């Protein structure tokens, strides 16, 4: 590979690493070409980039993008899954692929922001509900105190209204 090509690849990879929210490193040893195509297609449909990368070029790109934590996974064959929005999406997609197909794909770990994640932490990240669900759960929890306050403040008024309606029925009835 020519020096210019290597520099171009390093710059592109550094740009990608600096823009992504999460990087999941995988060992793809033992995957057939057919399974790799299937995995890439599935990840692409979810908006996740999946790249097979050379360790030396990735090390240089990680330094350039201030993601030195990624160096911990730069041994052996390496493919990285990159997501730009939902941090749980790549972990969930890779774990689902491994479970559904019985794949030999192995998750080495990942980088979330500036934090290094082990393969166990990536598995735990896969169990976190999607962002939209977490937001709706938060909103639901925020409504509980407001609903309770509303009930407490309106209870005397409801009681007074009940007394007035009973008195009206008493007068009308006779």
In this predicted model, what pLDDT tens digit does every residue of 34-54 receive, in sequence order? 989 999 999 999 999 999 989
Mean pLDDT of 12-26: 91
Residue showing tokens 């070409």: 33
Q: Number of structural domains, the chain?
A: 2
Range of the domain at 160: 129-174
Domain check: are 50 and 10 in the same one? yes
Domain check: are 100 and 158 in the same one? no
Domain check: are 98 and 15 in the same one? yes
Domain check: are 124 and 134 in the same one? no
Domain check: are 73 and 147 in the same one? no
With 0-12 / 13-18 / 19 or more C-beta atoms within 10 angstroms meaning exposed / middle / buried, residue 61 is buried
Domain check: are 37 and 105 in the same one? yes
Task: Tell me the whole-structure pTM to 2 decimals.
Answer: 0.73
The one-character DSSP state at 68 is G
CA nearest neighbour of 111 among 48, 69, 59, 49? 69
Domain check: are 143 and 76 in the same one? no
In this predicted model, what pLDDT tens digit does every residue of 101-152 receive, in sequence order? 888 889 999 998 888 999 899 999 888 888 888 899 999 898 888 888 888 9
What is the 3-state composition of the chain as percent helix, strand, coil, each rounded to the nearest 5?
Answer: 65, 15, 20
Domain check: are 87 and 12 in the same one? yes
Domain check: are 124 and 155 in the same one? no
Domain check: are 73 and 159 in the same one? no
Domain check: are 71 and 86 in the same one? yes
Domain check: are 152 and 103 in the same one? no
CATH number at residue 73: 3.30.70.1730
């Amino acid at each position: 590979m020519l020096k210019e090509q290597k520099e171009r690849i390093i710059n592109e990879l550094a740009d990608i690493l600096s823009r992504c929210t999460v990087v999941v490193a995988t060992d793809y040893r033992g995957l057939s070409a057919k399974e790799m195509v299937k995995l890439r297609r599935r990840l692409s449909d979810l908006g996740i980039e999946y790249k097979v990368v050379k360790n030396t070029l990735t090390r240089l790109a990680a330094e350039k993008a201030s993601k030195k934590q990624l160096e911990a996974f730069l041994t052996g064959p390496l493919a990285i899954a990159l997501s730009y929005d939902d941090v749980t999406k790549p972990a969930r997609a890779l774990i689902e692929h491994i479970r559904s197909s019985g794949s030999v794909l192995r998750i080495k770990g990942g980088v979330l922001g500036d934090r290094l994640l082990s393969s166990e932490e990536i598995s735990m990240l896969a169990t976190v509900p999607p962002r939209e669900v977490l937001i709706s759960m938060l909103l639901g929890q925020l409504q509980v105190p407001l609903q309770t306050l509303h009930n407490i403040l309106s209870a005397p008024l409801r009681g007074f209204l009940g007394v007035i309606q009973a008195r009206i029925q008493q007068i009308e009835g006779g």
